[in-house]
Amino acid sequence: MPGLMNKEIIFFGGKGGVGKTTCSSAYSLNLARKGYKTLVLSTDPAHSLGQIFQVQMGDEPRKLDANLYGIEIDPEVESKRYINRIRQQMQGSFSVNIIAEIQRQLDAAYHSPGAEEAAIFDRFIEVIDLVGKEYQRIVFDTAPTGHTLRLLSLPELMDRWLQGMIERRRNVNEMMRMASVVDKSLEERIKDDPVMRILLDRKQRFEKAKKFLIDDKRAGFVFVLNPQQLPILETEKAISFLERNGIPVEGVIINRVLPEKTDGEFFKKRKEVEDRYMKQIEEKFGDRILYRIPLMEYDISGYESIDSVARIFG
Protein backbone atom coordinates (compact mmCIF):
# COMPACT_ATOMS: atom_id res chain seq x y z
CA MET A 1 0.00 0.00 0.00
CA PRO A 2 2.26 2.79 -1.18
CA GLY A 3 -0.17 5.56 -0.09
CA LEU A 4 -0.18 4.29 3.45
CA MET A 5 3.58 3.82 3.55
CA ASN A 6 4.00 7.47 2.65
CA LYS A 7 2.08 8.67 5.67
CA GLU A 8 4.44 9.80 8.37
CA ILE A 9 1.93 9.20 11.14
CA ILE A 10 -0.51 6.33 11.15
CA PHE A 11 -3.22 5.73 13.71
CA PHE A 12 -4.64 2.26 14.20
CA GLY A 13 -8.19 2.37 15.54
CA GLY A 14 -11.11 0.05 16.01
CA LYS A 15 -13.41 -1.60 18.49
CA GLY A 16 -12.03 -3.27 21.61
CA GLY A 17 -10.20 -6.53 20.97
CA VAL A 18 -10.30 -6.50 17.15
CA GLY A 19 -6.50 -6.54 16.82
CA LYS A 20 -5.32 -2.92 16.94
CA THR A 21 -2.24 -3.67 19.02
CA THR A 22 -1.45 -6.74 16.91
CA CYS A 23 -1.76 -4.85 13.61
CA SER A 24 0.00 -1.68 14.74
CA SER A 25 2.97 -3.55 16.13
CA ALA A 26 3.23 -5.80 13.07
CA TYR A 27 2.89 -2.82 10.76
CA SER A 28 5.58 -0.94 12.71
CA LEU A 29 7.90 -3.92 12.46
CA ASN A 30 7.30 -3.94 8.74
CA LEU A 31 8.11 -0.23 8.44
CA ALA A 32 11.27 -0.69 10.48
CA ARG A 33 12.38 -3.52 8.22
CA LYS A 34 11.78 -1.39 5.17
CA GLY A 35 14.34 0.99 6.62
CA TYR A 36 12.11 3.61 8.21
CA LYS A 37 13.17 4.47 11.71
CA THR A 38 9.85 3.94 13.46
CA LEU A 39 8.30 4.80 16.79
CA VAL A 40 5.21 2.88 17.88
CA LEU A 41 3.19 4.47 20.61
CA SER A 42 0.34 3.07 22.63
CA THR A 43 -2.20 5.19 24.48
CA ASP A 44 -4.18 2.21 25.60
CA PRO A 45 -4.42 2.00 29.39
CA ALA A 46 -4.41 -1.81 29.11
CA HIS A 47 -0.78 -2.06 28.06
CA SER A 48 0.16 -4.78 25.66
CA LEU A 49 2.83 -3.54 23.24
CA GLY A 50 5.38 -4.55 25.84
CA GLN A 51 3.95 -8.05 26.00
CA ILE A 52 4.28 -8.54 22.27
CA PHE A 53 7.89 -7.41 22.10
CA GLN A 54 8.77 -8.77 25.53
CA VAL A 55 10.18 -5.41 26.55
CA GLN A 56 9.39 -3.41 29.66
CA MET A 57 7.76 -0.32 28.18
CA GLY A 58 7.43 3.15 29.57
CA ASP A 59 7.04 6.80 28.94
CA GLU A 60 10.37 7.18 27.15
CA PRO A 61 11.23 5.33 23.92
CA ARG A 62 12.57 1.77 24.36
CA LYS A 63 14.23 -0.16 21.60
CA LEU A 64 12.02 -3.00 20.37
CA ASP A 65 13.95 -4.16 17.32
CA ALA A 66 16.40 -2.83 14.74
CA ASN A 67 15.03 0.58 13.67
CA LEU A 68 12.01 0.18 15.95
CA TYR A 69 11.21 1.99 19.20
CA GLY A 70 8.14 2.04 21.41
CA ILE A 71 6.46 4.16 24.07
CA GLU A 72 3.50 3.32 26.27
CA ILE A 73 1.51 6.23 27.65
CA ASP A 74 -0.75 5.91 30.65
CA PRO A 75 -3.41 8.64 30.31
CA GLU A 76 -3.89 9.06 34.04
CA VAL A 77 -0.18 9.33 34.78
CA GLU A 78 0.19 11.60 31.78
CA SER A 79 -2.45 14.06 32.90
CA LYS A 80 -0.82 14.31 36.34
CA ARG A 81 2.54 14.88 34.68
CA TYR A 82 0.98 17.46 32.40
CA ILE A 83 -0.42 19.49 35.28
CA ASN A 84 2.85 19.11 37.21
CA ARG A 85 4.82 20.33 34.25
CA ILE A 86 2.72 23.46 34.04
CA ARG A 87 3.06 23.88 37.80
CA GLN A 88 6.85 23.66 37.60
CA GLN A 89 7.00 26.24 34.88
CA MET A 90 5.36 28.63 37.33
CA GLN A 91 7.60 28.03 40.32
CA GLY A 92 9.98 30.72 41.36
CA SER A 93 8.73 33.65 39.43
CA PHE A 94 5.60 34.51 41.40
CA SER A 95 4.54 35.32 44.89
CA VAL A 96 3.05 32.66 47.17
CA ASN A 97 -0.45 34.10 46.79
CA ILE A 98 -0.31 33.92 43.07
CA ILE A 99 1.05 30.40 43.08
CA ALA A 100 -1.83 29.35 45.34
CA GLU A 101 -4.24 30.89 42.93
CA ILE A 102 -2.61 29.21 39.95
CA GLN A 103 -2.78 25.97 41.90
CA ARG A 104 -6.55 26.33 42.22
CA GLN A 105 -6.85 27.05 38.55
CA LEU A 106 -4.76 24.00 37.67
CA ASP A 107 -6.77 21.77 39.99
CA ALA A 108 -9.91 22.95 38.25
CA ALA A 109 -8.27 22.24 34.91
CA TYR A 110 -7.26 18.76 36.01
CA HIS A 111 -10.81 17.84 36.95
CA SER A 112 -12.55 19.49 34.04
CA PRO A 113 -13.74 17.32 31.16
CA GLY A 114 -11.17 16.94 28.44
CA ALA A 115 -8.16 17.19 30.77
CA GLU A 116 -7.00 13.63 30.16
CA GLU A 117 -7.35 14.05 26.44
CA ALA A 118 -5.54 17.36 26.64
CA ALA A 119 -2.68 15.66 28.45
CA ILE A 120 -2.43 12.81 25.96
CA PHE A 121 -2.72 15.23 23.15
CA ASP A 122 0.02 17.38 24.61
CA ARG A 123 2.31 14.37 24.64
CA PHE A 124 1.12 13.49 21.17
CA ILE A 125 2.19 16.93 19.94
CA GLU A 126 5.59 16.43 21.56
CA VAL A 127 5.88 13.10 19.79
CA ILE A 128 4.75 14.23 16.34
CA ASP A 129 7.35 16.92 16.56
CA LEU A 130 9.91 14.09 16.36
CA VAL A 131 8.74 12.91 12.96
CA GLY A 132 11.14 13.89 10.21
CA LYS A 133 13.77 14.48 12.90
CA GLU A 134 14.26 11.60 15.31
CA TYR A 135 11.87 9.19 13.54
CA GLN A 136 10.69 8.77 9.98
CA ARG A 137 7.41 7.09 10.91
CA ILE A 138 5.22 7.15 13.99
CA VAL A 139 2.51 4.56 14.53
CA PHE A 140 -0.22 5.02 17.13
CA ASP A 141 -1.87 2.01 18.68
CA THR A 142 -4.97 3.69 20.03
CA ALA A 143 -7.48 2.79 22.70
CA PRO A 144 -10.86 1.42 21.57
CA THR A 145 -12.86 3.60 19.22
CA GLY A 146 -14.91 5.77 21.57
CA HIS A 147 -11.92 6.94 23.51
CA THR A 148 -9.86 7.57 20.43
CA LEU A 149 -12.55 9.50 18.65
CA ARG A 150 -12.83 11.70 21.66
CA LEU A 151 -9.11 12.23 21.47
CA LEU A 152 -9.22 12.99 17.79
CA SER A 153 -12.23 15.20 17.86
CA LEU A 154 -9.63 17.55 19.24
CA PRO A 155 -9.99 20.37 16.86
CA GLU A 156 -13.41 20.78 18.44
CA LEU A 157 -13.05 19.25 21.87
CA MET A 158 -9.72 20.77 22.74
CA ASP A 159 -10.59 24.14 21.33
CA ARG A 160 -13.71 24.14 23.41
CA TRP A 161 -11.87 23.01 26.54
CA LEU A 162 -9.13 25.57 26.14
CA GLN A 163 -11.49 28.28 25.08
CA GLY A 164 -13.53 27.64 28.23
CA MET A 165 -10.39 27.90 30.34
CA ILE A 166 -9.27 31.04 28.55
CA GLU A 167 -12.63 32.71 29.01
CA ARG A 168 -12.78 31.79 32.66
CA ARG A 169 -9.31 33.22 33.07
CA ARG A 170 -10.29 36.36 31.24
CA ASN A 171 -13.20 36.88 33.63
CA VAL A 172 -10.92 36.45 36.63
CA ASN A 173 -8.52 38.99 35.18
CA GLU A 174 -11.30 41.40 34.47
CA MET A 175 -12.49 41.21 38.07
CA MET A 176 -8.94 41.72 39.28
CA ARG A 177 -8.52 44.67 37.00
CA MET A 178 -11.54 46.28 38.58
CA ALA A 179 -10.34 45.41 42.08
CA SER A 180 -6.86 46.74 41.37
CA VAL A 181 -8.27 50.23 41.29
CA VAL A 182 -8.49 50.00 45.06
CA ASP A 183 -5.82 47.34 45.67
CA LYS A 184 -2.65 48.12 43.73
CA SER A 185 -1.03 44.79 44.67
CA LEU A 186 -3.40 43.04 42.27
CA GLU A 187 -1.84 44.75 39.30
CA GLU A 188 1.05 42.29 39.30
CA ARG A 189 -1.41 39.44 38.78
CA ILE A 190 -2.99 40.65 35.64
CA LYS A 191 0.11 42.03 34.04
CA ASP A 192 1.50 39.25 31.85
CA ASP A 193 -0.76 36.67 33.45
CA PRO A 194 1.17 33.36 33.48
CA VAL A 195 -1.94 31.19 33.41
CA MET A 196 -3.24 33.00 30.37
CA ARG A 197 0.15 32.72 28.74
CA ILE A 198 0.19 28.96 29.23
CA LEU A 199 -3.37 28.53 28.02
CA LEU A 200 -2.65 30.49 24.88
CA ASP A 201 0.55 28.51 24.36
CA ARG A 202 -1.43 25.24 24.59
CA LYS A 203 -3.93 26.56 22.12
CA GLN A 204 -1.15 27.29 19.70
CA ARG A 205 0.23 23.78 20.14
CA PHE A 206 -3.16 22.25 19.47
CA GLU A 207 -3.49 24.29 16.34
CA LYS A 208 -0.15 23.01 15.17
CA ALA A 209 -1.27 19.41 15.68
CA LYS A 210 -4.51 20.11 13.90
CA LYS A 211 -2.57 21.43 10.96
CA PHE A 212 -0.53 18.26 10.91
CA LEU A 213 -3.54 15.98 11.19
CA ILE A 214 -5.89 17.76 8.88
CA ASP A 215 -4.25 20.36 6.71
CA ASP A 216 -0.95 18.76 5.80
CA LYS A 217 -2.40 15.27 5.42
CA ARG A 218 0.82 13.78 6.67
CA ALA A 219 -1.21 11.67 9.08
CA GLY A 220 -3.83 9.04 8.38
CA PHE A 221 -6.12 6.62 10.10
CA VAL A 222 -6.47 2.88 9.59
CA PHE A 223 -9.33 0.86 11.08
CA VAL A 224 -8.98 -2.72 12.14
CA LEU A 225 -12.17 -4.74 12.15
CA ASN A 226 -13.31 -8.34 12.30
CA PRO A 227 -15.90 -9.86 9.98
CA GLN A 228 -18.62 -9.45 12.59
CA GLN A 229 -21.58 -7.17 12.93
CA LEU A 230 -20.56 -4.80 15.70
CA PRO A 231 -17.04 -4.02 14.48
CA ILE A 232 -18.49 -3.30 11.02
CA LEU A 233 -21.08 -0.89 12.38
CA GLU A 234 -18.63 0.81 14.70
CA THR A 235 -16.07 1.26 11.94
CA GLU A 236 -18.65 2.74 9.64
CA LYS A 237 -19.65 5.29 12.26
CA ALA A 238 -16.07 6.10 13.17
CA ILE A 239 -15.05 6.65 9.55
CA SER A 240 -17.87 9.06 8.92
CA PHE A 241 -17.04 10.89 12.15
CA LEU A 242 -13.40 11.34 11.19
CA GLU A 243 -14.25 12.42 7.70
CA ARG A 244 -16.68 14.99 9.02
CA ASN A 245 -13.78 16.32 11.08
CA GLY A 246 -11.43 16.38 8.12
CA ILE A 247 -9.15 13.60 9.36
CA PRO A 248 -7.98 11.40 6.45
CA VAL A 249 -8.99 7.74 6.67
CA GLU A 250 -6.63 5.46 4.75
CA GLY A 251 -8.67 2.30 4.89
CA VAL A 252 -9.56 -0.83 6.82
CA ILE A 253 -7.77 -4.03 7.75
CA ILE A 254 -9.90 -7.13 8.13
CA ASN A 255 -8.44 -9.23 10.89
CA ARG A 256 -9.22 -12.81 12.00
CA VAL A 257 -10.55 -14.05 8.70
CA LEU A 258 -11.27 -17.80 8.78
CA PRO A 259 -9.21 -19.88 6.34
CA GLU A 260 -10.83 -20.83 3.01
CA LYS A 261 -10.77 -24.49 3.87
CA THR A 262 -12.17 -25.34 7.27
CA ASP A 263 -12.61 -28.70 8.95
CA GLY A 264 -16.01 -30.00 9.93
CA GLU A 265 -19.61 -28.88 9.86
CA PHE A 266 -19.28 -26.27 12.61
CA PHE A 267 -16.59 -24.27 10.85
CA LYS A 268 -18.31 -24.69 7.51
CA LYS A 269 -21.37 -22.95 8.98
CA ARG A 270 -19.20 -20.36 10.69
CA LYS A 271 -17.48 -19.65 7.41
CA GLU A 272 -20.85 -19.09 5.73
CA VAL A 273 -21.78 -16.55 8.38
CA GLU A 274 -18.42 -14.90 7.94
CA ASP A 275 -18.83 -14.76 4.18
CA ARG A 276 -21.97 -12.71 4.64
CA TYR A 277 -20.06 -10.22 6.77
CA MET A 278 -17.17 -10.18 4.33
CA LYS A 279 -19.67 -9.25 1.64
CA GLN A 280 -21.01 -6.45 3.82
CA ILE A 281 -17.48 -5.18 4.41
CA GLU A 282 -16.84 -5.18 0.69
CA GLU A 283 -20.06 -3.30 0.02
CA LYS A 284 -19.44 -0.73 2.72
CA PHE A 285 -15.70 -0.21 2.41
CA GLY A 286 -14.90 -1.55 -1.07
CA ASP A 287 -11.58 -0.26 -2.31
CA ARG A 288 -10.70 0.94 1.15
CA ILE A 289 -9.87 -2.62 2.18
CA LEU A 290 -6.11 -2.66 2.63
CA TYR A 291 -5.33 -6.13 3.98
CA ARG A 292 -6.98 -9.35 5.07
CA ILE A 293 -5.32 -11.11 7.98
CA PRO A 294 -6.24 -14.72 8.69
CA LEU A 295 -7.26 -16.02 12.05
CA MET A 296 -4.17 -17.73 13.36
CA GLU A 297 -4.20 -21.00 15.23
CA TYR A 298 -2.65 -19.29 18.24
CA ASP A 299 -2.95 -15.98 20.03
CA ILE A 300 -0.61 -13.44 18.57
CA SER A 301 1.83 -12.52 21.26
CA GLY A 302 5.56 -12.52 21.08
CA TYR A 303 7.89 -11.74 18.27
CA GLU A 304 7.35 -14.75 16.05
CA SER A 305 3.61 -14.42 15.71
CA ILE A 306 3.92 -10.68 15.10
CA ASP A 307 6.48 -11.46 12.46
CA SER A 308 3.97 -13.63 10.58
CA VAL A 309 1.51 -10.71 10.47
CA ALA A 310 4.26 -8.24 9.51
CA ARG A 311 4.95 -10.36 6.41
CA ILE A 312 1.32 -9.97 5.32
CA PHE A 313 1.91 -6.22 5.21
CA GLY A 314 4.56 -7.01 2.65
Q: Tell me which residues touch ligand ATP (CB under 6 A).
A: 14, 16-22, 44, 46, 48, 144, 255-256, 293, 295-296, 299-301
Q: How far is the CB of 28 from ligand ATP (least distance, A)?
A: 13
Q: How far is the CB of 27 from ligand ATP (least distance, A)?
A: 11
Task: Find which of Mg ion, ligand ATP, none residue 183 binds, CB within 5 to 8 Å per kind.
Answer: none
Residue 72 in the binding site for Mg ion (CB under 5 A): no
Q: How far is the CB of 44 from ligand ATP (least distance, A)?
A: 5
How many other C-beta atoms can be found within 10 angstroms of the C-beta atom of residue 254?
25
Instruction: Choose among 165, 10, 188: nearest CA to 99.
Output: 188
Q: How far is the CB of 89 from ligand ATP (least distance, A)?
A: 34
Nearer to ligand ATP (CB atom), residue 22 or residue 173: 22
Nearer to Mg ion (CB atom), residue 3 or residue 45: 45
Residue 226 in the binding site for Mg ion (CB under 5 A): no
Quick note: the x/- pattern for Mg ion over 23-62, rule CB under 5 A, is: ---------------------x------------------
Task: Find which of ligand ATP, Mg ion, none residue 262 binds, CB within 5 to 8 Å per kind.
Answer: none
Beta strand pairing status for 62-65 and 68-72? antiparallel
Sorted by sequence, the CB contacts under 8 Å of residue 115 that are 6+ apart come out as 79, 82, 83, 109, 161
Q: How far is the CB of 262 from ligand ATP (least distance, A)?
A: 14
Pick one of 11, 21, 198, 225: the residue that binds Mg ion (CB under 5 A).
21
Q: How far is the CB of 213 from Mg ion (least distance, A)?
A: 21
SS (H, E, C) 103-143: HHHHHHHHHCCCHHHHHHHHHHHHHHCCECCCECEEEEECC
CA-CA distance, 253 to 5, in Å (whole number)? 14
Residue 250 in the binding site for Mg ion (CB under 5 A): no
Q: Is 201 helix (H, G, I), strand (E, B) or coil?
A: helix
Nearer to ligand ATP (CB atom), residue 16 or residue 194: 16
Q: How far is the CB of 125 from Mg ion (least distance, A)?
A: 22
Task: Find which of ligand ATP, Mg ion, none residue 295 binds, CB within 5 to 8 Å per kind.
Answer: ligand ATP
* DSSP track, 237-288: HHHHHHHHTT--EEEEEEEEEPPSS--HHHHHHHHHHHHHHHHHHHHHHGGG
* DSSP track, 138-186: EEEEPPPHHHHHHHHTHHHHHHHHHHHHHHHHHHHHHHHHHHTTT-GGG
CA-CA distance, 174 to 252, in Å (whole number)? 51
Task: Find which of Mg ion, ligand ATP, none residue 145 binds, CB within 5 to 8 Å per kind.
Answer: none
Q: Which residues bind Mg ion (CB under 5 A)?
A: 20-21, 44
